[in-house]
Structure 1
Amino acid sequence: MRIGNATLPDGTTADVEVEDGTITAVGDLGGEYDVDATGKLLFPGAIDAHVHFRQPGYGHKETWETGSQSAAAGGVTTVVDQPNTSPPTTTGDAFDQKAAFADQSIVDWGINGGVTEDWDPESLFARPLFALGEVFLADSTGDMGIEADLFAEAVELAGQHDVTVTVHAEDADLFDESATERDDADAWSAYRAAEAEAAAVERACEVGAEFETDIHIAHTSTPEGVDAAAAAGATCEVTPHHLFLSRDDLPELGTFGRMNPPLRSEERREAVFERVADGTVDIVATDHAPHTREEKDASIWDAPSGVPGVETMVPLLLEEARKGTLSYERVRDLVAANPAAIFDLPEKGRIQEGMDADLALYDTDEPRAIRGEDLHSNCGWTPFEGKQGVFPEWTMLRGEVVWDAEDGFGEAAGQNVRE
């Protein structure tokens, strides 16, 4: 298969040849081609290093089938699932159970192992883990928080097995208990104070350095947290919701804007965006955490935390590139090249000879409004309702089209990237 006259993220025009799932040539190849990509952007498939596809245990929120379809429709070809399912992915048996559900995925996948008081590291590390995460003293999920000694033990064991630890960095000791007397939409952000993030980042990085274990900070939401990670030599991610939404949006979002970490001030959001643009932030990942409308339609203290995002990440970032606030190369690095490098996926993340033919084709002249009813997650809503995004015409996994805007989805062909 040959894709002709495509515009690549660096602005050059090239033909791309694909054989047996691999990119075999890139350049001015001449001759005939199967796909005319003149005037369109050919992008490497994105890697979302932080999703919650909810199975096993919570398939009414999302399934591996619907979650992976949502990913493919947004140009994402690899996802990494987090451990807070039921049962949590803290044992080898639980890993195997989740992997059986992941066989329904139409995109490639990895599974993060979790750490609890009753985890089984011997059986867990015997499995092809992507990483440990999201792990820390603070608790993003209701039942996955751990004490300092256990965190240190997990980091030490991960280092011995050459496994990265993905950290949820909030120090619950610094939460503002006075905010619990409020019931407005901003109370959650007031409660989980911004100061709690940088302190936890620093502590996590100190433990990582002690055991020479790679630390990756999940969903960094403050400029102070980003800077603390960078100063310590850790990698970090920022989510689209922390990049494009702030506490100013909470009057409209209500409890649909509750997540962990919470939305921050507009001033902090702008500062985080600056760090995404200038290269301080390593990657963008979604923390795709869907809940049903009925579940989110509760009080600020009873609504579950989390928002969907796997389908809208790349479209939102490409719209920023289209407007000129980010370059297309920077978007490529944030969602493809850097995640591949950080998490040791040498055959993914770039359009080069020898790489997996994970590709997506975009017409950057045709952005459209994001509507929850048009997306493919089980939950059926989005916090980005009405914002503009550039969506793919088609998405390809190892040379096979898994999403076509006209013809729909392909077959489940996703594989564990660690096998």
Structure 2
Amino acid sequence: MSNYLLKNAKIVNEGQTIEGDIRISNGRIDKIASSISPQGNEQIMDLSGKHIFPGMIDDQVHFREPGLTHKAHIASEARAAVAGGVTSFMEMPNTVPNALSQEILADKYAIAQRSSLANYSFFMGAGNENLEEVLKTNKQDVCGIKIFMGSSTGNMLVDNTKTLENIFSKSELLIATHCEDEPTVKARTQLFHEKYPEEAPAFIHPLIRNEEACYLSSSTAIELAKKWNTRLHILHISTEEELALFETGKAAKEKRITSEVCVHHLWFDAADYEKLGNQIKCNPAIKDSRHKNALRKALQTGSLDIIATDHAPHTWEEKQQGYWKSPSGLPLVQHPLLMLFDLEKEGVLSLEQIAEKTAHTVADIFQIQDRGYIREGYWADLAIVDFDSPQKVEKSNLHYQCQWSPMEGYTFGASIAHTFVSGHLAYSQGKFNESQLGKRLLFQRN
């Protein structure tokens, strides 16, 4: 492995931005100082004018392997992630077959070990009838348990009250939930199907999967977590109403119940269905601007702890079907940091808060070992950003296997110049180096 000396960078880390150098030795950060002299045969990179961020840890992606590889592979989506400064990901269990057994979970880790350019972890899936398998999950090398408390892509709904009580009361691992109330969604789906039996406009999606569906389900999850003192993390918060359910003014690592918001719920709102239609159909739905604005403000209060992507690729042909047939989900893992940097220009959040919400708090909440911060002794997971080099999103520079993005044609104000994954220069100036792959995430849990 090559060793590196990164010179003259602006280092964004732990609430401040400082100018200095970073030495990388044997994959880890060996030294951080205002000036470091070269030694040995290390490669020197002059990063004058560029910023170094801790690599983003995306706690919610769908990379579709095994079973749905016409949409994506772990290898293809991990490359896209690394091109976007995302150095680690946590992938969801609604692949085919669903990751409902330790054997299937192990198979996914094996695929990543031989193909993922980014660091990786995989959620163990909970179903209505696999409690015994769920409770076997190793808390030192698996990120958590995923429960779909509302049906979404993959048919993994857990709606058995006794099962939910058992998982919440017995799991020692963090439980991550998709929260949408199933009876509400079913009733409203029937209502709108009667109104639009054949062709339906995409703007009905947030009317079907509405605020009430989200709030009812999130409230239920939180009640269960409080009852059993469960470590709960609610994914992709999309409504203003849900924000009142979470604590503010407390560090994420001190909370038993934490939350996540996704970049698309911060970026898009219901007005965008007119132009993008099913491209932005996702669960939970992108709703009207009231919610987007409330979510943005909540990044300041601390009621939202993590920013993620919920990257969920489908083929262009699948998304071009009519509303009732088009699957939910959109590909985003190549551009979350660039989206957030543009939001920083709008005053939504600071560069230091971007580092906090995409890396620091993810590491704290999931108790990830030696990652998420730019610290001596930690793995060198780094995103090097050029704020003087705008990037236009075009098909030619997309690395998703599905080869489309709702951001096509948009020009970001910055670009990712280089990405280090576990000390390996995995991406540099548009080119990948796959001579070394990512590592399995490990967790420091009692």
What's the TM-score bracket when you normalise by the shorter of the two chains? over 0.9
Corresponding residue number in structure 1 for 2:425: 401
1:227 is displaced (CA, Å) by 2.4
Contact 2:72 2:400 in 1 (8 A): yes
Which of 29, 33, 42 is the matching residue for 2:35?
29
- What is the deviation of 1:321? 2.4
Q: Does residue 63 of structure 2 align to residue 39 of structure 1?
A: no
- CA offset digits 1:278-311 (Å, max 9, x no partner): 4321011111010000111111111111001111
Matched, 1:2 2:1: no
Comparing 178-187 with 285-294, greater Cα deviation is found at 178-187
Which residue of the partner structure matches residue 215 of structure 1? 232
Unaligned ranges ≥5, structure 2? 249-254
Q: 140-149 or 58-67: which moved more?
A: 140-149
Letter in 2 for 1:96: A
Q: Secondary structure at the match of 1:273?
A: helix
- Tell me how far apart the structure 1 counterparts of residues 56 and 362 of structure 2 sit (CA, whole Å): 9
Shift, 1:122, TM fit: 3.6
**Aligned amino acid, residue 94 of structure 1:** I
Tell me the equivalent position of 1:262. Answer: 285
User: 1:124 deviation in Å?
Assistant: 6.2
Q: In the superposition, relative to structure 1, how do residues 233 and 164 fare at CA in structure 2: closer, same or farther (>3 Å)? A: closer
Question: Paired residue for 1:201?
Answer: 218
Runs of at least 5 residues in structure 1 that lack an aligned partner in the other structure: none
Matched residues in 1 for 2:191 and 2:131: separation? Answer: 38
Report the equivalent of 2:251: none
| Structure 1 runs of 4+ with >6 Å offset | none
Distance in 1, matches of 2:246 and 2:300, equals 16
Indicate the residue corresponding to 1:77 in structure 2.
87
Decide whether the 8 Å contact of 1:319 with 1:367 is kept in 2: no
**Counterparts of 1:279 and 1:371 in 2: how far apart (Å)?**
35
The Cα shift of 1:412 comes to: 4.9
Tell me if 1:17 matches 2:27: no
Counting only pairs closer than 5 Å after superposition, residues 88-167 of structure 1 correspond to structure 2 as 88-103=98-113, 104-119=115-130, 121-122=132-133, 125-127=136-138, 128-133=141-146, 135-147=147-159, 148-158=161-171, 162-167=172-177
Tell me the amino acid that sits aligned with residue 154 of structure 1. I
Equivalence for 1:227: 244
1:205 and 1:229 in contact (8 A); partners too:
no
What whole-Å deviation, never above 9, does each CA across 1:189-247 have from its counterpart, x for those lacking one? 11111121122111101111222111101111112123213379521111111110111
- Distance in 2 between the 1:326 and 1:387 partners? 21
SS at match of 1:163: coil
Count of aligned pairs between the two proteins: 415
Q: What SS class does the counterpart of residue 315 from structure 1 fall into?
A: helix
Assess if the C-alpha contact under 8 Å between 2:125 and 2:134 holds in 1. no
Contact 1:226 1:236 in 2 (8 A): no
Q: Percent identity of the aligned residues?
A: 29
The residue type paired with residue 132 of structure 1 is: I
Is contact 1:92-1:124 (8 Å) kept? Answer: no
Where 1:186 maps in the other structure, the secondary structure is helix
Are the structure 2 counterparts of residues 245 and 36 from structure 1 closer, same or farther at C-alpha, using a change threshold of 3 Å?
same
Secondary structure at 2:22's aligned position in 1? strand
Tell me the C-alpha RMSD between the 2 structures: 1.8
Code of the aligned partner of 1:39: G
Moved more, 298-307 or 313-322: 313-322
| Per-residue deviation, 1:120 | 5.5
Task: Report what 2:206 is aligned to.
Answer: 189
Q: Give secondary structure in 2 for the equivalent of 1:216.
A: strand
**TM-score with structure 1 setting the length:** 0.94
In the other structure, the counterpart of 2:358 is: 335
Alpha-carbon distance in 2 for matches of 1:142, 1:72: 26
Alpha carbons of 1:247 and 1:373: their partners in 2 closer, same or farther (altered >3 Å)?
farther
Question: Are the counterparts in 2 of residues 91 and 120 from structure 1 also a CA contact under 8 Å?
Answer: no
Q: Deviations over 1:46-80 (max 9, x none)?
A: 10000001000001111011010001000011000
Deviation at 1:30, TM superposition (A): 3.6
Q: Is the 8 A contact 1:107 1:414 kept in 2?
A: yes
What does the per-residue CA deviation read over 1:248-301, in whole Å, with 9 as the maximum and x for residues that have no partner? 000111111211001100121111111124432101111101000011111111
Matched AA of 2:217: A
Asked if the contact 2:343/2:349 (under 8 Å) is kept, the reply is yes
Contact 2:278 2:319 in 1 (8 A): yes
Q: Distance in 2 between matches of 1:200 and 1:123?
A: 21
CA distance in 2, matches of 1:207, 1:279: 22
Q: Secondary structure at the match of 1:34?
A: strand
CA distance in 2, matches of 1:229, 1:151: 21
1:174: how far off? 2.4
Deviations 1:154-201 (A, max 9, x none): 22232xxx3100011111222324222231111221111112112211
